[in-house]
Structure 1
């Protein structure tokens, strides 16, 4: 069904630099590609504030992308905001904007809110992650505004409501199941996928693996991702004598990540906070079992064990790895395909 909205402009801090860039905000990429297919006659324009580091407009799967080249430089922030408003005004004069959809409660929601209020245009903001946590000064402009706020899961909605008394509608991300490789025999016991930062809590991952190796000396674990803590984790692996058990793979293209998932048995996710956890959808559809804390879209199902403590994670993994009756891999889908898009279409058309 075609939307009544004729021109949607998306605001985001960063976006894929080309159609071959599969690692920059995969969930948003899947959403926009699917939306373009559903709305072939709707003009879709995306303004990206910081990344890619270029000021040359380009096409991405039929969507016009305008990069502002902010480069995450603090001194360029006000200039970037001014440029964003100029671009929005220019676009609006040429092809009137009917909806502004910003991502993250930050500079994009701020500019989207200002522009939408001035021109009496619908504004939707999707809260994406830690922007729901305390000490986010960008939340204030959204209070007492007409902005429709979207969160990604029950846990995410609860965090925003608790911290800022802001209610929201929950719209989960959809998964494009057409891109997944065939399921394979598990050659990786435990896999983790995520940025190497404090939030992902990889020190806990390391200590759990160290304890598992005591009874499973041939355990094979891999971590896919890059980040500021890589050197520290390398030292921890060496200190714990886990070189034969843990491999830091680094960043991989999305298809390579999905292939690894198809070869892995368990996703161990030690993060203490997630707004959604797109990796959960990917892991379940790749036939993996999940062990995690109660974060993001966590659901207690047969193939997903939710733990409260590190020790509980350890015991759960022991049971999974040593169970002689391990079931055959099966794909699990949590969300109905395109349910997220349909929910957004309702917001666009209200």
Structure 2
């Protein structure tokens, strides 16, 4: 592709090596898909906080600069920003920067805004999670009109417009690199109901447990699993025990993405109980692997015909009950990867001429 200069990606954290599957897998997939079109020599990644050790390394042919910020605050955060600035200046000195692409309306976007202003480089930002909400302190510092704003869902764009008056310029959902789904092992366990995500309050696994409690009245042998780790692990174990669901719900802990995908391939219903979601990448994975997806009404789920939604524990339990009775499996592509990549490339070409 005839792109004038490099695309520099500014990201809070990135995979520490090619085996680090669980660090922002949706960004790993996107980087690999973009590399197929741009070439690795046209891309560099700057990771602000993670990996925690400062280094420059090669990830699938793409150069990654880890600033080792370790999520520190105060003067340490400022030092991280200075290191990022230094790396950007060094890249600019060696080769032209065509566009700065930040992820999250956060420090990544702020540095892109300032560096872009002084060096006449256009910046775009992909809005990823809770960053469009009014509670995001960076919104007051960012001149949103100067960016190309990309939302990962219509919901994110609408939330940004509510908080700032600026909707996203385009909506490009997270997409899958489907090669990751080839040759998944058959030996992984299967579950009637599976949940995937970090164990913290926003993911609302208390609701997951309540739904299972309703269902075991009719399905006493129900087998459920939750893949993920987090601060609520012990509390959830206690709740499972208090409701006498020890034989029905298994907490799988931190699980490699490839293993999670293999479990999805063998399991029936993906139950998503989150209180907030920008898009829900794991739901896309589950749909692609033929699972039935039941979710709380977050992001754009209510407008997706492949996802069944419920607002109350009973409504969600009823949706799961119906899904358990449907034995067909269909591969559903949430959003075509080639369409998403094409949109990003179009934006890059527009502003890197």
Name the TM tier (shorter chain).
Answer: over 0.9
Structure 1 distance, partners of 2:275, 2:144, is: 31
Return 58-67 or 295-304, whichever deviates more. 295-304
1:112 deviates by: 0.7
1:41 deviates by: 6.8
Tell me if the contact between 1:46 and 1:63 (Cα under 8 Å) persists in the aligned partners.
yes
Number of aligned pairs?
Answer: 346
CA shift in 2, pair 1:131/1:220, >3 Å: same
1:124 deviates by: 0.5
Q: Alpha carbon RMSD of aligned pairs, Å?
A: 1.8
Matched residue, 1:340: 340
Matched residue, 1:5: 4
1:297 deviates by: 3.9
Tell me if the contact between 1:116 and 1:123 (Cα under 8 Å) persists in the aligned partners.
yes
Matched residue, 2:30: 31
- Counterpart of 2:141 in 1: which secondary structure? helix
Structure 2 distance, partners of 1:144, 1:280, is: 30
1:318 deviates by: 2.3
Matched residue, 2:311: 308
1:74 deviates by: 1.4
1:6 deviates by: 2.3
Tell me if the contact between 2:189 and 2:263 (Cα under 8 Å) persists in the aligned partners.
no
Matched residue, 1:170: 171
Tell me if the contact between 2:184 and 2:261 (Cα under 8 Å) persists in the aligned partners.
no
Matched residue, 1:20: 19
CA shift in 2, pair 1:12/1:182, >3 Å: closer
CA shift in 2, pair 1:224/1:7, >3 Å: same
Matched residue, 2:213: 210
CA shift in 2, pair 1:144/1:30, >3 Å: closer
CA shift in 2, pair 1:39/1:232, >3 Å: same
1:144 deviates by: 5.3
- Counterpart of 2:293 in 1: which secondary structure? strand
Q: Any gaps of 5 or more consecutive residues in structure 2?
A: none
Structure 1 distance, partners of 2:32, 2:4, is: 17
Tell me if the contact between 2:5 and 2:95 (Cα under 8 Å) persists in the aligned partners.
no
Which residue of 271, 276, 284 maps to 1:273?
276
- Counterpart of 2:131 in 1: which secondary structure? helix
Deviations 1:248-282 (A, max 9, x none): 00111111010000111000000121111111110
Q: Any gaps of 5 or more consecutive residues in structure 1?
A: none
Tell me if the contact between 1:143 and 1:166 (Cα under 8 Å) persists in the aligned partners.
no
CA shift in 2, pair 1:112/1:22, >3 Å: same
- Counterpart of 1:188 in 2: which secondary structure? coil
Q: Does 1:129 align with 2:129?
A: yes
Output the TM-score relative to the length of structure 1.
0.94
Matched residue, 2:288: 285
Structure 1 distance, partners of 2:161, 2:201, is: 24
